[in-house]
């Protein structure tokens, strides 16, 4: 219940454009691509290796809620186990290579020309619809945070039609003198969505 109260307070402050905690940075923004997004396919939050970690487990619910509050519950399509199933069939850590393009655009071209990725993208859209992929990664959780590691989170939208990222946000946090993982992790999520909404123009989002 306490966590729920904290989340509600933080969401209210964010909606009022009150900046608290680390600021998210938009590191990639293809404004030449269509930003009028009708629906999104939500991929599970993972680490950059494509595997679920304690941090991704903890923030995934908040990220799902963030997408739902942005586009509306009826416009957010959970991918469930489909992404993991398709990626495991391809193997060779293909999915991890795709996720690394979020912070290294220089390798994106390798993915775009990868026939396996084209097949993966087509299989996802044929099963769930031809909509943008909502992708998020985080490099650690409470244990790493309390140990003093800088926790980084990336949130982005990928256009499967053009095989290109539409937008990517980056945010990081490190333990302060008053360490509170629950609050700081919520800041990571809330401020990421605030930055994405502002960059894409809030007029397109759910009222």
Q: For residue 179, give the CATH number of its domain.
A: 3.40.50
Is residue 152 a part of any domain in this protein? yes
pLDDT range class, residue 87, cuts 50, 70, 90: confident
Q: Taking the model in full, what pTM does it have?
A: 0.86
Kindly tell me if the per-residue pLDDT of 55 is higher than 50: yes
> pLDDT averaged over the chain?
86
Q: Cα separation of 116 and 122, whole Å? A: 10
Confidence of residue 205 (pLDDT cuts 50, 70, 90): low
Asked whether residue 14 is domain-assigned, the answer is no
How many folded domains does the chain comprise?
1
Higher pLDDT, 183 or 203: 183
**Which range among 10-19, 122-131, 170-179 shows the weakest confidence by mean pLDDT?**
10-19
What does the pLDDT read at residue 20? 59
Contact 54, 143 (CB under 8 A): yes
Instruction: Give domain status of residue 10, yes or no.
Output: no
Is the pLDDT assigned to residue 204 strictly greater than 60? no
| Residue 194 placed within a domain | yes
Residue 21 has pLDDT above 70, yes or no: no
Q: How far apart are CA 79 and CA 127, in angstroms?
A: 9
Residue 71 lies in a domain: yes
For 99-119, what is each residue's pLDDT tens digit?
999 988 777 777 777 788 888
**Do β-strands 40-42 and 132-138 pair in parallel, antiparallel, or remain unpaired?**
parallel
Q: What is the pLDDT of residues 152-194, one digit of tens each?
A: 999 999 999 988 899 999 999 999 888 899 999 999 999 999 9
Domain that holds residue 75: 32-205
Specify if 165 maps to a domain. Answer: yes
Is 173 a member of any domain? yes
Is 62 a domain residue? yes
């Amino acid at each position: 219940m306490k966590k729920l109260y904290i989340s509600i307070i933080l969401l209210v402050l964010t909606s009022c454009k009150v900046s608290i905690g680390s600021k998210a940075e938009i590191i990639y923004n293809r404004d030449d691509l269509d930003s009028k997004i009708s629906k999104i396919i939500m991929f599970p939050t993972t680490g950059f290796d494509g595997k679920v970690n304690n941090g991704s487990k903890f923030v995934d619910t908040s990220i799902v809620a963030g997408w739902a509050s942005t586009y509306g519950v009826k416009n957010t399509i959970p991918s469930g186990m489909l992404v993991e199933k398709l990626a495991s069939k391809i193997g060779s850590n293909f999915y991890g290579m795709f996720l690394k393009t979020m912070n290294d655009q220089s390798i994106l071209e390798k993915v775009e020309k990868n026939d396996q990725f084209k097949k993966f993208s087509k299989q996802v859209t044929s099963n769930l619809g031809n909509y943008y992929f909502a992708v998020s990664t985080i490099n650690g959780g409470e244990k790493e945070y309390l140990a003093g590691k800088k926790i980084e989170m990336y949130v982005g939208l990928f256009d499967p039609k053009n095989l290109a990222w539409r937008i990517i946000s980056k945010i990081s946090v490190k333990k302060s003198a008053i360490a509170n993982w629950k609050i700081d992790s919520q800041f990571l999520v809330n401020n990421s969505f605030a930055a994405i909404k502002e960059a894409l123009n809030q007029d397109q989002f759910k009222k």
